[in-house]
A and B are shown apart, each in its own frame.
Chain A
């Protein structure tokens, strides 16, 4: 029994010493104090960006304690911490591509045991030998043909690792309009070059682009639209000027143009406001095609005079146009037969032809107003004997803007 205890004690003793020993061995490294002179990095110079990373060698180093080193490095997009590597008897630190791809200032600091040993900065420069593209931005993408408006072209050239190029790098910015090419030589400033392109005075498509050494931008197109139109005239077009309630009259504009002679953009809405001498107002609209707008309106049924005005809302309006419509009948033939049937017609039009079917004829009889419609130029109404006592009555007949009074006798 005693023996067993002894064994256990010995075992524990061995274990404890082993643990202690291993601890002290670990401490052996951490306990070393590293001084500023133990490690020296070969100061990185300003250099071109690379996607291969950058290896920075040490000029002075200590092979025993180098594992305690940390290199804190900050680029444009953030900070990271690097470890050193001993390879072929040379200690170095490898700055990964995540840092070395981006142009800008790089700050580095060599530290060990919470102590800064060495620090510095260097600059990563864009690679002017490996250009990638020019990013162009044009806007506004639609402008007005006049002497006030303009669009702007901004060019941002980048190298193959998406870095901005340095100031004063030359660049050619161009635009083409109707065969005329305008080039201008610009310099990059703050990473970009820009140009204001004044609007041409005619409509069309303005094409822009930039070039620089071997690289060029995509084509960007700016549409030039006509300016606010100048005043226009309207005319009418109709087969006849009779108020037949059947014919369509066409209201037309001139070709509408802006002050520079550019035809108004297709699809611009022109509203024709119509009011007549009977106090009615209405409108009809049409959109332009090649600067012209055509709108239709139905002839009135009564002789009247229209005043028409063409308006492009918020922009311009035409002078007024007067249109006269004459009546198509001179008189209203009326007859009444023995069955108390009143017959109006035949109503004939300006050629003597029968008027279109469905024209309303109003009869004012006693206190009633009765409307009947024509068919084949005739309208009929039977006065019901049950409601109307026999005798003489006065009937007023109105149709197509004419009225006549007729005395009738009901049986």
Chain B
């Protein structure tokens, strides 16, 4: 009885305390809410932090003008506001609403934009569009700094038209515009917009040859840092050691992965680029070519963000495009796996524009896409320079599958990933051991030799810690993923010698 009383008492006290805590928390939230925005410095939108949301390539051709010199700060402000004018117009045409139009168009220009949006709304049309590059010439900047006249030539981009939410058409554009901007309320607003000319869109139908002998290679991750090749701990010692092993295996190519997030998205981290260069330097020393897979773990193909992926790509590609160890660009690893979630049309159009963006910067290295199976392998066949596919089916059918692909294209075909985990543990019904793996490799290598297949196998090491975003958290998947190597924690597996003596 006493115990019960004590229990009740403590329960009541606890309830009292927690109710009070709740009330105090609630009041503090209300106070905090009422206090936000009270900061007088916020009245002027001076400290608005700009995040990257629209970063098409902008080249200022000239700022020389008869009116007044353009100061760098004002140039930046004009550029931002001008691009924002495009951005809000793109969004408005996509969503058929007028958000942001008010801030970036003067009254008379606003009416023109909204009239078209109204028309499209009535017709149930949605137009997704983005510009990708601008080439701005400043024609005039008035003495008091409130009028700027720009000519923006070769505004390239792409638009996709949807009617009743059905995809109708996509088209690239390349146009010249004249723009008159007025400085109003601290914003450069569009007063006049005029399309001056429609130019031909640049088409790239030149196929770049894959300049190497037969590719014998490996998908490479360091032993301690799978899916994290550009970790700070992966130093010269590790790289030298690993490249020695790769050399010992008589391989001539590796494939590495540049993570979109890992490298800093649109604003690429210079340290990561340096590490990429270091890796290429070591590869060059070891006489190994490197195929770089871009956009690893990127999954948002939305047109709104194309300028961001292009900016990312430009930083990476332009940094290493002249490196002698570079073999080819792989746009993305297994993008066909996103068809279901993101929509095939969306993924393909991103890939297509990204190929163009790479080729614009690097015109000598071939470009491919690492499709996860043979069915998807011929998508965008016209646009890539060589075909890459991954093969995790029965190795008996490899020869036929590879030949079937080769018969359908004139471009080189690369078996970009193949391998077998030697995992026979708790989670598998009919696991393979290291002997099975050796058998697999023997058969693979026989086929490869006979059919002269360009191949890169998966992978060098068994890994201890697989990131969850790679294989999920299910132990049977994880464990399988962990044992694809030909070297385990202690020693080489039998498959190692087979590859070495191939």
Interface residues of A (CB under 8 A from B): 70, 72, 74-81, 96-99, 101-107, 109, 111, 114, 121, 137, 139-141, 150-152, 154, 156, 162-164, 190-192, 194, 196
Pick from B113, B129, B146, B151: contact of A190, CB below 8 A: B151
| Bound CA–CA A102/B220 (angstroms) | 56
Contacts of A99 in B (CB 8 A): 116
Tell me how far the C-beta of A43 lies from the nearest C-beta in chain B, rounded to whole angstroms.
15
Tell me how far the C-beta of A199 lies from the nearest C-beta in chain B, rounded to whole angstroms.
12
Pick from B93, B125, B143, B191: contact of A81, CB below 8 A: B125
B125 near A80 with CB under 8 A, answer yes
Chain A contact surface mostly: strand
- The 5 closest A-B CB pairs, nearest first, are A139-B144, A104-B195, A152-B143, A76-B195, A98-B119
Chain B residues 115 to 162 lying within 8 A of chain A, measured CB to CB, are 115-120, 123, 125, 127, 129, 139-140, 142-144, 146-147, 149, 151, 159, 161
| Identity of the chain A residue whose Cβ is nearest the Cβ of B117 in the assembled complex | A78
B173 near A164 with CB under 8 A, answer no
Pick from B127, B178, B198: contact of A164, CB below 8 A: B178
Contacts of B151 in A (CB 8 A): 190
A139 near B142 with CB under 8 A, answer yes
- Interface membership of B67, Cβ < 8 A: yes
- 16 further A-B contacts with Cβ under 8 Å, apart from A109-B171, A139-B146, are A72-B168, A75-B195, A76-B194, A78-B117, A78-B127, A79-B93, A79-B159, A80-B127, A96-B119, A107-B198, A121-B198, A139-B143, A156-B192, A164-B192, A190-B151, A191-B194
- Interface membership of B483, Cβ < 8 A: no
- Interface membership of B445, Cβ < 8 A: no
Chain B contact surface mostly: strand
How many residue-residue contacts, CB under 8 A, span A and B?
A: 121
A72 near B119 with CB under 8 A, answer no
A98 and B115 in contact, given A74-B173, A104-B194 (Cβ under 8 angstroms): yes
Contacts of A75 in B (CB 8 A): 116, 195
Contacts of B140 in A (CB 8 A): 154, 190, 192, 194
A72 and B142 in contact, given A77-B112, A81-B125 (Cβ under 8 angstroms): no
B192 near A154 with CB under 8 A, answer no
Chain B residues 151 to 189 lying within 8 A of chain A, measured CB to CB, are 151, 159, 161, 163, 168-169, 171, 173, 175, 177-178, 180, 182
B175 near A154 with CB under 8 A, answer no
| Bound CA–CA A137/B143 (angstroms) | 11
- Interface membership of B193, Cβ < 8 A: yes
A81 near B112 with CB under 8 A, answer no
Contacts of A163 in B (CB 8 A): 194
A78 and B173 in contact, given A104-B194, A104-B196 (Cβ under 8 angstroms): no
A191 near B180 with CB under 8 A, answer yes
B139 near A77 with CB under 8 A, answer no
| Bound CA–CA A93/B115 (angstroms) | 19
A78 and B93 in contact, given A103-B194, A121-B198, A191-B192 (Cβ under 8 angstroms): yes
| Bound CA–CA A121/B147 (angstroms) | 31
Pick from A72, A98, A114, A151: contact of B116, CB below 8 A: A98
